[in-house]
Structure 1
């Protein structure tokens, strides 16, 4: 072993067994270059091309009206200060092929800084021109192989194609929690029988769900899953590239001559509705959507995208007072689905900005609003008293407004739809809320309320009211929101939630001290975020993988601890007197038993073997793609030999109880390595605490929808925490306006 490796701990050396030429380091871990200056889009306008190839549903599309052109804009020349000296390492021979850096700069230059525009469009007109390529339909159904059948009472069933597709939806889920749910089964069976009836029936009279046998179908779908897992990287890449080619024309549109991303441009494929919580419609068939069901919306005079062959669009509108591009009616809730602009589009960004500004504006009115509803809590008019009490609950406890639900809808509850049984009163002023909130998530809170509010709730529960009766029987969400409009333009129950969420976050951030490592600061930020999530009742069920994730972190901690102990043992071998000089520093060297060390070593070896095997596979796939000779079993054996050498080192060390000391190692070097490991242990402990604390709380919902993103940006800039630690890539794109507009002193 080279002298340069002498002072590398064994655990770190095991990572180097793989290959020093590893080139798959995430971009986020590479050194960041100077930030590029983003300027308003002034480059050439883009054109959208209709697909000339077959659509994903197998029908060919016409190439007429293929190019949607807009007049070119003049390219603004860069000033000398904008130009950067070329990096020789990035130069390529072919000048007409842009480097990755140039492509990134080009993409950055096209960013439209709508938040710097002076124009304020609060009127009805949302856009001047809108051009797009329609929607992407799911592929047509591919029939099952002839030997894969549904069985009824042991008899194979010859199903019509439409009915076979529906049976397959259930067959794939038969062993899941959904497939075992009686409500799911019942709803599926009703819709399955209806489809059979529409298709003219089959060779068997199907009357009872219990007699259906989906085992052959289930086995077929499981085999398909296994086959997919066994695909080579090259095969997966080809499938991915083909999918991206099909999607490319639908990803963007031209809005007022600018290229903008589209959000959900795909038509939902048919399937069985799952629903959240105990949804009464779970298992119902989501029917296939055809072009005849779809209405498009684009500029008058803009080329209408051709529908799939043999079909026509349901309707084509030219409504510039709305921001949807396509719509259709789905059959489960009998409601409309819309294709809208992407989360990081200027339209959605402007909408988010206005939403948070409206909530922020509430701080100028909140005192007078609270004064008004506090007075109305004693109103002689029951409707006013209910209105004031509901406003109090929405303001103080962030309840949603709520609304009436039909018998076939999930029984979720908000403030106005609270029933007798949802509220328990405990004198002198404690209220226990217990009901299913949005997405059928239980809302359970024991809170202390204003004495007059407690008195009012007691009045609202007076006989003859009983379980099942509405608590607020004189008001409704529309009536409540109408009242809110008298307080402030644009005020709704959701604005109250957004205001209180952001205000709570601001207050929590004010309590955080600017000290500690980045990891510590992130944990404190997440704790503040969690306070808001609890206020908004943003819960989640503990994921099935949570236990494994926690176990992996604990294993990592034990491994780091073992490595630290080994380093300290080496220090004592070099200078035994150190233990007398600082007994506290070396007290932990006896913390791990021989059995503990054996388990740690086995896990390291197992992980290293897996890494070597995966690296071998990757190398072979790369060689295959380059049409070169592939590595052999002997090559793998040779690589695994290094793992055996590591295993032998571990065995000797375990027997002697002393780690091997390499050349050129000094006490100072070892002490420096101990400090590095202690920092890693600290960061890992923070990671573990964060995972445990947030296992049942969803931080993302409040961060995306209720906390003003500028507060996150303020924390990032004031506490020197990289924004990447706080916002995912998706949120960074969605909230570019906040990242670029807020400084460290901004306040909500």
Structure 2
């Protein structure tokens, strides 16, 4: 799409392009005052702006009562297999795989039942589902305990969170005014070298409370007066960061793990101390690298391993066999292979490759028409690949090390490049091998074949004077470029969504670090404009022009509810939307002021939340949904993401809608940290940080779907916790064995079995302990034999292992005796009551620590703390917490992240503020 139509409404673009041959309904250019007055009478405003918080934690579950029978998914051609239901996530109800609605958008496919007769704007989605014969399970509500609140408070949790959000927003407004005031003072004190700049400062400060439209001329002057108008990402001035940067010079650089990197130590420059470095148009002047690593060619299956069709083994062309292997190799991934959409997309692509390669043939060489997925049996392929995986896993440590060394040596030339004379690590230098596309969430293209990328599809970006990498023999590159403004080394287009894949520098490289730094500095700069932006869009919520009112409403939703701006999608892309591209059917209104969103967002993750909004916003959404609009029509039909971002740049150079997510998360975290007093053990302090991180996610409406394996992980953690309690209980019983009078002295309650343990669980746990002991002994025996073999000595005989395994047999007998006699004999050398009491105390500490970890994990199940911590919260705030409360940074950042955020770790102290 050309840049000339950026401000054209989406509906207008579709009319111009004739999309789908359907003319969408477009909102009137202006909103009559009579309509506002009518809505004011219908929905009176209480004059209070509600900072929206979604208390619903998780997805709404909808069960279709009309189709309660389990259809079952045939995976291997060996009969029906039941589909596992994930409690934490409900897959949108797509139409049947063989349905004729293939060309319909995803939003249409989701409606598999008859429309509700009363389908008004004010009918909640829940009611519509019930009317369609569906059972609706509302998501669980956040508990006060989950965010560290007292559960006995009389104030409702939603109200408490809303008040906290209001408090944070007021603090933001106050701080913005203070920053501008201080900047004005600095400008007044500055020598009169650049009078035009000073004049701009005065003009800017004098109209702080005016709407943007009236400040436009001043903004233009400011732009002209800017000393470096080409530097879009120039960070906001911050005296605190400059002081911290000065201190960081004294910080000793950690030793590099790579000897070759140590050669560059003398040239090490803390670029964050000079943030303007590298901001020019050209990202590099000289660039040399060795291209990319391609996956190995397909290795055909042994002749005795064949896919079966209708019970008979069939022979396939290698290209078709490779595709069959993609599906067969992942039969253990039931979440994918039992998904009807995954099955349908795979089978369509598989039939296409069969047709292209001459089809399948039986033992007699006759052609077999592969028509039904249910008759396909991929199990022989799975068993072959599974055996290969097991064999690889069973390799000795030395063999695994040798294979890794061989691989590392082959890839060594590709791991680094020379960027402006400096050796930099390359991130993803490997080209992805062909496979089946999985996608995230409910991607409609899941299961399609990701084709093999050939050199003829790859474009190389390299210095003009550099040696161009040699492509694989018999091939050539698509193109060789010398794009100095690009930070990519190679690129190609993948076949699923038509997206371009780029080979970039590693996360810990200077270029990547500067990108992260500028991103968070831009969010910091937004601090001094946020009050004016909010004041302006609040005023424009009542604008007469529909375009202005739609823009203000979208800004409200983006700022308050962390909705992504969204971009218009092509016909072949996943039917995902953001704020600016919301459809009529994505928003349901429930008087007096509740808005329910239901759409597929980024990565096809379903966003299904309800919020309380300001009364004026509710009225505006009602106006934007007025007839004749209906399903498929744009809600904000006079707004585009490009138009919105163009408007935001009027406030601040480089400001876009996505900066609000980073700003809100970082500013909220900084406010929580300023009020925090973390004490106790390190695990308790880590939990305090996670509690704050979780609260940021809730206040900023950043959530995630519960992982499929969460329940299993919690069960294992629970068993480990119960195992510690059981061991502690045994030690207490040993105390009675040493001194029977201790029971009367300490009281019978002290020695009772914990409430969450019972005899049945104990028997199961004892069996587990015996098996664990056998495994431990066997592994140690095998390891010692490997060592003897490597040293050229004689290996131990199996009899030695049998002798060692008697310890596990003795343990089993001992536990059976304990269950029978209800007595535990004291263990160890010279056991005393005092020694056993010390053991009990140690178990107390271990149990408390594990209980905290389990509670933390459970509370975090629907909050993506990692994503929040890495992408939205300024990493310098995590460093501040680490230094302020004396918690090792390793508790928050892995080695990879410590390299990525080296600039944050070295540039601030505990007094730094966002």
TM-score per shorter chain, which class?
A: 0.7 to 0.9
- State the match for 1:684 in structure 2: 850
- State the match for 2:768 in structure 1: 603
1:566 shift after superposition = 3.8
- State the match for 1:130 in structure 2: 287
CA deviation string 1:284-343 (max 9, x = no partner): 222221112111111111111111111122211111111000011222222221100111
TM-score with structure 2 setting the length:
0.67
Q: Choose from 886, 895, 900 the match for 1:720.
A: 886
1:101 shift after superposition = 11
1:524 shift after superposition = 2.1
Is the Cα contact below 8 Å between 1:324 and 1:338 reproduced in 2? yes
Is the Cα contact below 8 Å between 1:270 and 1:285 reproduced in 2? yes
- State the match for 2:298 in structure 1: 141
1:216 shift after superposition = 3.7
Q: Which moved more, 1:282-291 or 1:320-329?
A: 282-291
CA distance in 2, matches of 1:437, 1:397: 14
CA distance in 2, matches of 1:207, 1:382: 56
Is the Cα contact below 8 Å between 1:278 and 1:410 reproduced in 2? no
CA distance in 1, matches of 2:256, 2:296: 36
- State the match for 1:426 in structure 2: 590
Is the Cα contact below 8 Å between 2:567 and 2:641 reproduced in 1? yes
What is the root-mean-square deviation of aligned Cα atoms in Å?
A: 3.1
- State the match for 2:323 in structure 1: 166
Asked if 1:406 is matched to 2:406, the reply is: no
CA distance in 1, matches of 2:584, 2:466: 55
Is the Cα contact below 8 Å between 1:420 and 1:469 reproduced in 2? yes
Is the Cα contact below 8 Å between 1:148 and 1:217 reproduced in 2? yes
What is the SS of the residue equivalent to 2:573?
coil
Alignment of 1:271-290 (within 5 A): 271-290=435-454
CA distance in 1, matches of 2:382, 2:736: 62
Alignment of 1:477-626 (within 5 A): 477-534=641-698, 535-544=700-709, 546-571=710-735, 583=747, 586=750, 588=752, 597-626=762-791
Asked if 1:397 is matched to 2:561, the reply is: yes
Give the direction of change, closer, same or farther, for the CA distance of 1:431–1:604 in structure 2 (3 Å limit).
Answer: same
Is the Cα contact below 8 Å between 2:288 and 2:417 reproduced in 1? yes
Is the Cα contact below 8 Å between 1:130 and 1:256 reproduced in 2? yes
What is the SS of the residue equivalent to 1:328?
strand
CA distance in 2, matches of 1:255, 1:104: 14
Give the direction of change, closer, same or farther, for the CA distance of 1:479–1:230 in structure 2 (3 Å limit).
Answer: same
Give the direction of change, closer, same or farther, for the CA distance of 1:680–1:155 in structure 2 (3 Å limit).
Answer: closer
What is the SS of the residue equivalent to 1:493?
coil
Q: Choose from 435, 439, 443 the match for 2:607.
A: 443
Is the Cα contact below 8 Å between 2:737 and 2:826 reproduced in 1? no
- State the match for 1:223 in structure 2: 387
- State the match for 1:741 in structure 2: 907
What is the SS of the residue equivalent to 1:486?
coil
Q: Choose from 277, 283, 293 the match for 1:120.
A: 277
CA distance in 2, matches of 1:223, 1:610: 21
CA deviation string 1:75-134 (max 9, x = no partner): xxxxxx9999xxxxxxxxxxxxx9989899779778653323465222211112211111
CA distance in 2, matches of 1:561, 1:109: 54
Is the Cα contact below 8 Å between 1:112 and 1:346 reproduced in 2? no
- State the match for 2:529 in structure 1: 365
Q: Choose from 693, 707, 729 the match for 2:895.
A: 729
1:694 shift after superposition = 2.1
1:208 shift after superposition = 1.9
Q: Which moved more, 1:608-617 or 1:359-368?
A: 608-617
CA deviation string 1:553-606 (max 9, x = no partner): 222222322333344445556666666665498364676666655444433332
Alignment length, in residue pairs?
654
CA deviation string 1:5-64 (max 9, x = no partner): xxxxxxxxxxxxxxxxxxxxxxxxxxxxxxxxxxxxxxxxxxxxxxxxxxxxxxxxxxxx
Give the direction of change, closer, same or farther, for the CA distance of 1:678–1:218 in structure 2 (3 Å limit).
Answer: closer
1:688 shift after superposition = 1.0
What is the SS of the residue equivalent to 2:336?
coil
Give the direction of change, closer, same or farther, for the CA distance of 1:112–1:148 in structure 2 (3 Å limit).
Answer: farther
Give the direction of change, closer, same or farther, for the CA distance of 1:536–1:624 in structure 2 (3 Å limit).
Answer: farther
1:652 shift after superposition = 5.2
- State the match for 2:157 in structure 1: none
- State the match for 2:424 in structure 1: 260
Q: Which moved more, 1:117-126 or 1:511-520?
A: 117-126
CA distance in 2, matches of 1:567, 1:145: 57
1:677 shift after superposition = 1.5
Give the direction of change, closer, same or farther, for the CA distance of 1:541–1:107 in structure 2 (3 Å limit).
Answer: farther
CA distance in 2, matches of 1:104, 1:445: 49
- State the match for 2:349 in structure 1: 191
CA distance in 1, matches of 2:906, 2:263: 19
Give the direction of change, closer, same or farther, for the CA distance of 1:114–1:536 in structure 2 (3 Å limit).
Answer: farther
- State the match for 1:16 in structure 2: none
CA distance in 1, matches of 2:350, 2:727: 60
Give the direction of change, closer, same or farther, for the CA distance of 1:631–1:548 in structure 2 (3 Å limit).
Answer: farther
- State the match for 1:707 in structure 2: 873
Give the direction of change, closer, same or farther, for the CA distance of 1:650–1:150 in structure 2 (3 Å limit).
Answer: closer
CA distance in 1, matches of 2:281, 2:261: 36
What is the SS of the residue equivalent to 1:586?
helix
1:697 shift after superposition = 2.9
Give the direction of change, closer, same or farther, for the CA distance of 1:623–1:661 in structure 2 (3 Å limit).
Answer: closer
CA distance in 2, matches of 1:580, 1:217: 66
Alignment of 1:217-366 (within 5 A): 217-366=381-530
What is the SS of the residue equivalent to 1:480?
helix
- State the match for 2:793 in structure 1: 628
- Residue ranges of structure 1 left out of the alignment (5+ in a row): 1-80, 85-97
- Residue ranges of structure 2 left out of the alignment (5+ in a row): 1-250, 362-366
Is the Cα contact below 8 Å between 2:565 and 2:579 reproduced in 1? yes
Give the direction of change, closer, same or farther, for the CA distance of 1:252–1:585 in structure 2 (3 Å limit).
Answer: farther
- State the match for 1:24 in structure 2: none
1:625 shift after superposition = 2.9
- State the match for 2:211 in structure 1: none
CA deviation string 1:111-161 (max 9, x = no partner): 653323465222211112211111001111112222333455566544333
Bigger RCO of structures 1 and 2 (CA < 8 A, at least 6 apart): 2
Is the Cα contact below 8 Å between 2:425 and 2:505 reproduced in 1? yes
CA distance in 2, matches of 1:596, 1:190: 48
Is the Cα contact below 8 Å between 1:443 and 1:537 reproduced in 2? no
Q: Choose from 208, 220, 240 the match for 2:371.
A: 208
CA distance in 1, matches of 2:806, 2:260: 44
Alignment of 1:44-193 (within 5 A): 113-117=270-274, 119-152=276-309, 157-173=314-330, 176-193=334-351
Give the direction of change, closer, same or farther, for the CA distance of 1:245–1:110 in structure 2 (3 Å limit).
Answer: farther
CA distance in 2, matches of 1:459, 1:595: 63
CA distance in 1, matches of 2:911, 2:804: 55
CA distance in 2, matches of 1:395, 1:426: 21
CA distance in 1, matches of 2:744, 2:370: 85
Give the direction of change, closer, same or farther, for the CA distance of 1:180–1:547 in structure 2 (3 Å limit).
Answer: closer
